[in-house]
Structure 1
């Protein structure tokens, strides 16, 4: 029976690839041991990839690679903070056009499993929640608190207007939709889960719904009546037993997150997972007729300020890198890796006789860059916006600012030496006395103070705080405000009278000139170079310190010399023949004025 399930599923896979029948309705449902597509057993061979982590211009190429590896389905989270960045302001344009992403998958002969959740984790800022939820009085995420449920319902209905017409029952390619996300690792309130189900169905998601949880938490996180998918387990007997225990003794059997790879965070070694240890497991799962979604098939890049962080209270704060290469089968640039080829061979073993996978597309060309001189500069503190004044420090949320930086400024009587103690810095601070940097405070290292010498007279104290990414997992989701959360004291005396300058860095380039920036304050530097041909490249930031890079208006993400990520991926799709512009915000090594590109990523060097 298991062999028949696998064979029927793969036959249907190739039928759907040939058909690409947009507008043709299908029926997708649960059988006792397998999924049923139009009444016949269907095995999902799925891989996760996220539309905001891939340039829109490259979506189709990544989907073709999914088919070439043997996938018949792709899974994706849907990111609330991407689509409702401010309360009541929705964005489904450009790289946020999830509807176009799903429709493109249908054009490429791929089914989709949709994961709106709305909590996603995903190593993503605040686990996908928009920052402004924290400004709603009394709101508690992942709970039955009325304020949260109201905002959640508004969002999911907006999403339903975009995506419910694309369910398989309505002629689209969305096979099933996940509610919540690993909720059993967080809580066990079945009434809350039932509210989730109700919101989804009322929003138009009237097809097959499911939950997913790690094996130890599956009994807490599933909702009776829905399929309880399992995460992180690939032993067939354990998969079957855990799902049967929570699903009236039945299947189908679905591994919603299978981890043949892992992610990175700043200051820790690059994570790699050998393909040899996982190709055989994939072979075993497919041979047993179990459906699977590998997390990740293709990670891509967490651009802008959208990386999340891990923190469990008794462990260091761990902000994640911008590279989401993940050691996945498809690398950050979308090229096949040895792991891709090993998994393709495992899938090929289960193809019906005479069926062949598409040829693997050639690797994209990549190039180095000659030295780019950054000839224009502007000090970050030289062109400040209007100040917000308050007696004590305000948080990002108090200032209605989502991401980026806030400069805190106060005055203090000088002519003395003492301890400057900053209450709860979130997450990284540079401290300046009269414009001169005197130290830094890093939440990762548990720091909250430094000893400083104040010159005589009244002294200007500046503290530049960077939001390094809100926590994306666990109970500390509820303690996710950014900036300075406590008071600031010098020699035990609280400092009062603060000016706050919001620096969300949504646009850069103003106030730059040919003159250099004196001192060691953070600097924005701009350069130009010309190209006769475009190809992928990787900006080599090993000689730089810490900051953010923009090319042709695209925020490519953060860099930090501590590693392990030392390069910033620059996709060919965002380069131009002719003139190209790069802007770098450098916080530490402010005299750096040259930038190079290399033809391969450097993701494994700690400094």
Structure 2
């Protein structure tokens, strides 16, 4: 039975091997215009069956300097294709201002894949989910009154069209039918889990075609949502199903009784959020599934093959009526075949063995690159610091608190300040605080409020006289999935009430930390409970990967040599922050930490292994 199956699949496998062997960087094939079509049961590349064995890598989550190394790892596991989303909020951070440079150079990411002999499945839906801030939408959409994402509302469609046209300029020329390596392009993303408007999906399709995506388009949805999320005429890909018979039945039912068959998201593990145990699943639980899928000739995309890190302020959050607000961690390790640093795991090796089984006898995959070295570093020598109150900018004024969006601030923090008459007790209540607040009276810290825990109130006893009330609010990540994406403003989003009376007359100090504050060349006296910015030096003889150990710190953000590495929080499960060697240098490396809860902490060093599974 196994031998007969192997013989039946030989056209897939022979073409797959050709994909592995050809390196377009040294071949005229790079300039060859291909055809890519949907056959009755197979994908057809230049008329021959192609089985895509793909893995998801997000260019934004991997240092640009490491893109090629990750591609080589993909080849070594036996992949012939890479899948990636395209993220609207990194490419149009402010309306009409586009960025396709540096780590956002998606076209170069695709070109490197081609040079490494890999095809690409592109997912430039304006909505990506992906445990990414606002599901990939830029924050400024919320400033357009009446705009509704994922709908046929006119203002949304205009903004969406402007964006997708810019994406088309970058990527449409890289499709296989234009000499590139993009095999097919996804419109929208799991739309059936959100809505069922076929006219909206058709509008998506038309926009993609107008933007130059004139090859194969497809949709993807989980099994229960495929009926609503599929657009007739396009290939319906399946997410989260790995039983071959069920995959084929779902596709056949929604595609005129025919294939080809593509699992657009196959999950070898899961992501993490703050305050919940690290998610891991042994490779053995997945080996038989991938074996049967490949044996059935079904194409597959592992989500994720390599998770990497969600750096900066780009982590998303989940929220629904039946569960609390759940902001995701900066580590996007995902327990994937490649770990956060890009090294092969046990899961990588076991999946590689399965893929090798389905290749012609005698063919050997490329050797697996060695793991990158990692080091324990010397202590960071902190030389400069500043209290929160030393780095406040010029405030904006308003009778009522302004949201981040009204202040035209995407991410980070805002300090809200008002004055009131003291000498009384009362309950301070913030209606719809989003998401984490620290309350100060006359500069003294009195408590914290945490949306995750449903905390929005604090009993205060105000001293006599005029009192200054400060509330530092952190955006911990906009919701990236579900109906609450439509309620995603940040900060103090409604009002503040003390002792039954609404407080008015606010100053708002924006701290987006898109640029690091300049600190005086001295160490400020530590004020108990008051957040602090610390700057120091990490001196290295030789750069190598490391993991900053923040298990003794409280909550905050870390930068190294200007790169925002992401957030840390003592509650876990993530206790370390990955520092890629590519962003380090010999000699002095600048380290900056913004610490919210433990301003007296000053001991920091890198260790050799990550700690992603420790809850406090």
TM-score (normalizing by structure 2): 0.97
Q: Is the 8 A contact 1:417 1:454 kept in 2?
A: yes
Per-residue CA deviation, residues 88-116 of structure 1 (Å, 9 max, x unaligned), is: 00000000000000000000000000000
Equivalent position of 1:430 in the other structure? 438
Q: Is the counterpart of residue 539 in structure 1 residue 548 in structure 2? A: yes
Cα distance in 1 between the residues matched to 2:526 and 2:332: 36
Note the 1:15-164 alignment, pairs <5 A: 15-19=18-22, 20=24, 21-164=29-172
Per-residue CA deviation, residues 214-263 of structure 1 (Å, 9 max, x unaligned), is: 00110110000000000000000000000000000000010000011100
Equivalent position of 1:598 in the other structure? 607
What 5-or-longer segments of structure 2 have no aligned partner?
none
Residue 12 of structure 1 and its aligned partner are, at CA, apart by 1.5
Q: Is the counterpart of residue 353 in structure 1 residue 390 in structure 2? A: no
Cα distance in 1 between the residues matched to 2:525 and 2:322: 41
Q: Is the 8 A contact 1:523 1:587 kept in 2?
A: yes
Residue 4 of structure 1 and its aligned partner are, at CA, apart by 5.0
Cα distance in 1 between the residues matched to 2:609 and 2:576: 9
Q: Is the 8 A contact 1:51 1:95 kept in 2?
A: yes
Q: Is the 8 A contact 1:6 1:286 kept in 2?
A: no
Q: Is the counterpart of residue 398 in structure 1 residue 406 in structure 2? A: yes
What 5-or-longer segments of structure 1 have no aligned partner?
none
1:447 corresponds, among 448, 451, 455, to 455
Q: Is the 8 A contact 1:5 1:289 kept in 2?
A: no
RMSD over aligned CA atoms reads 1.0
Cα distance in 2 between the residues matched to 1:332 and 1:551: 17
Equivalent position of 2:12 in the other structure? 9
Residue 199 of structure 1 and its aligned partner are, at CA, apart by 0.1
Equivalent position of 1:588 in the other structure? 597
Name whichever of 380-389 and 337-346 sits farther off.
380-389
1:203 corresponds, among 190, 194, 211, to 211
Q: Is the 8 A contact 1:5 1:34 kept in 2?
A: no
For the residue of structure 1 that corresponds to 2:564, the secondary structure is: strand
Name whichever of 422-431 and 372-381 sits farther off.
372-381
With over 3 angstroms needed to count, the CA separation of the structure-2 counterparts of 1:272 and 1:347, relative to structure 1, is: same
Cα distance in 1 between the residues matched to 2:517 and 2:5: 60
Residue 49 of structure 1 and its aligned partner are, at CA, apart by 0.6
Q: Is the 8 A contact 1:68 1:359 kept in 2?
A: yes
Equivalent position of 1:552 in the other structure? 561
For the residue of structure 2 that corresponds to 1:604, the secondary structure is: coil
Q: Is the 8 A contact 2:526 2:599 kept in 1?
A: no
Q: Is the counterpart of residue 567 in structure 1 residue 567 in structure 2? A: no
Equivalent position of 1:344 in the other structure? 352
Cα distance in 1 between the residues matched to 2:222 and 2:321: 21
With over 3 angstroms needed to count, the CA separation of the structure-2 counterparts of 1:378 and 1:6, relative to structure 1, is: farther
1:321 corresponds, among 321, 326, 329, to 329
Equivalent position of 2:418 in the other structure? 410
1:307 corresponds, among 267, 290, 315, to 315
Equivalent position of 1:525 in the other structure? 534
1:265 corresponds, among 262, 269, 273, to 273
Per-residue CA deviation, residues 49-90 of structure 1 (Å, 9 max, x unaligned), is: 100000000000000000000000000000000100000000
Residue 2 of structure 1 and its aligned partner are, at CA, apart by 5.7
Residue 509 of structure 1 and its aligned partner are, at CA, apart by 4.1
TM-score (normalizing by structure 1): 0.99
Cα distance in 1 between the residues matched to 2:552 and 2:382: 14
Per-residue CA deviation, residues 263-300 of structure 1 (Å, 9 max, x unaligned), is: 00000000001100101110110001000001000000
Note the 1:371-520 alignment, pairs <5 A: 371-519=379-527, 520=529
Cα distance in 1 between the residues matched to 2:86 and 2:204: 15
Residue 15 of structure 1 and its aligned partner are, at CA, apart by 1.4
Equivalent position of 1:369 in the other structure? 377
With over 3 angstroms needed to count, the CA separation of the structure-2 counterparts of 1:596 and 1:104, relative to structure 1, is: same
Q: Is the 8 A contact 1:517 1:523 kept in 2?
A: no
Residue 518 of structure 1 and its aligned partner are, at CA, apart by 3.7
Residue 135 of structure 1 and its aligned partner are, at CA, apart by 0.6
Q: Is the 8 A contact 1:2 1:289 kept in 2?
A: no
With over 3 angstroms needed to count, the CA separation of the structure-2 counterparts of 1:5 and 1:465, relative to structure 1, is: farther
Cα distance in 1 between the residues matched to 2:32 and 2:572: 49
Residue 5 of structure 1 and its aligned partner are, at CA, apart by 6.0
For the residue of structure 1 that corresponds to 2:124, the secondary structure is: strand
With over 3 angstroms needed to count, the CA separation of the structure-2 counterparts of 1:422 and 1:169, relative to structure 1, is: same
Cα distance in 1 between the residues matched to 2:68 and 2:9: 27
Cα distance in 1 between the residues matched to 2:520 and 2:236: 55
For the residue of structure 2 that corresponds to 1:472, the secondary structure is: coil
Q: Is the 8 A contact 1:310 1:471 kept in 2?
A: yes
Cα distance in 2 between the residues matched to 1:433 and 1:170: 63
Equivalent position of 1:174 in the other structure? 182
For the residue of structure 2 that corresponds to 1:324, the secondary structure is: coil
Aligned residues: 607
With over 3 angstroms needed to count, the CA separation of the structure-2 counterparts of 1:580 and 1:391, relative to structure 1, is: same
Per-residue CA deviation, residues 160-202 of structure 1 (Å, 9 max, x unaligned), is: 0000000000000000000000000001111000000000001
Cα distance in 2 between the residues matched to 1:577 and 1:185: 49
